Amino acid sequence: MPRIAETLFALGAGLVALAPWQTGWAETFSLQKASFEAVVLTDNLDHPWGMAFLPDGRMLVSEREGRLRMVSAQGELSDPLSGLPEVFDQGQGGLLDVALHPDFAANGLVYFTYSQPDGDGARTALARGRLDGMSLRDVETIFAAGNLASGGRHFGSRIVFAPDCTIYMTAGERGDARQAQNLKTQNGTVIRLNDDGSVPPNNPFVGPTGTPPTTYTFGHRNPQGMAVHPITGEVWVHEHGPQGGDEINLLKPGANYGWPIVTFGKSYAGFPIGEGTSKPGMEPPLHHWTPSIAPSGMAFYTGDAFPAWKGNLFVGSLKFAYLARLELDGARVISEERLLEDEFGRVRDVRQGPDGLLYILTDESDGSLVRLQPTGG
């Protein structure tokens, strides 16, 4: 039996059915442009962080404490997969995002980010392994960012594959705002890699620049949402501001996104930060939220299940526990609608599934995986 077929067969064998009351509970919502059901597939996840869809419709879901689980389309939850490395499970650190290689059907490669312990501190790292039944085999850390620090703040940690199969990965500034402008570190950066962790030759800082050649952009605070535009192929990213100034940005090679020199936010003590909201040579955001919504997760909707949502951008809010639906005119946000406000908890991630439906994860100790489907779907 081929390796991938063996994997999918074994996944089915490793699933544990949930009690009936935990699976399939639904609530109907009628909003501006669509009516939908929110179906709770499971609420037995412990602070889930990221998800990725396998070819047969099952999902890999990461839990921050260090577990990677499999969830079926019906909400059956597996035991944790084996083979993952030790994680720094403190504060915002732990096992974070997860993604499949674009050629997963042939190579079985799963990529994940985590806070890698090192002495008394940790850094943001990227690893990959080959899915084999209920295990990850040949796991290797292919990149570790230079944002080593103590404490559990600001790891960033979203990953996406671009159309050219390069990986974009976010690294937070670890709570040290000044380091986001230090080009010798990778605090507060977006990193671009080949799929084996090597440096793409057309990265903006390749050569004798004194900047790590894996750095793609800098001047970020704590980016926890990233998505590839389905038409342009451009990478969009959002990041947490302090009190206000959460930003959506369009990535440009070598660009400086300003933190902490320019921001729409204020310090938690209420004082101004930096030099204002704009400065020559620093990229302005496409959109910002003030007050802060604490954004996490981001997805462009391209499916047919919700025609009125096609081309919209979806972003989770941790602070206000909702899913934001943003209508766009090119790269400009023209309207925003709040979905599921205070219904399920802090929205950590949002993804479009291969079925054209939307899925969200809630960052709670009894975290949920919720599927949004047309009414009666």
Active site residues: 154
Residue with tokens 């919502």: 29
- 325, HSE (Cβ side, Cα atoms, 13 Å): 18
DSSP 157-192: EEEEE-TTS-EEEEE--TT-GGGGG-TTS-TTEEEE
Cα–Cα dist 81/42, whole Å = 18
DSSP 313-369: EEEEETTTTEEEEEEEETTEEEEEEEESTTTSS-EEEEEE-TTS-EEEEE-STTEEE
- The separation between CA 355 and the C-alpha centre of its own chain, rounded to angstroms, equals 20
Cα–Cα dist 27/37, whole Å = 5
Residue 154, both tokens = 């600001």
Q: Alpha-carbon torsion 33, 39, 41, 44, what sign?
A: positive
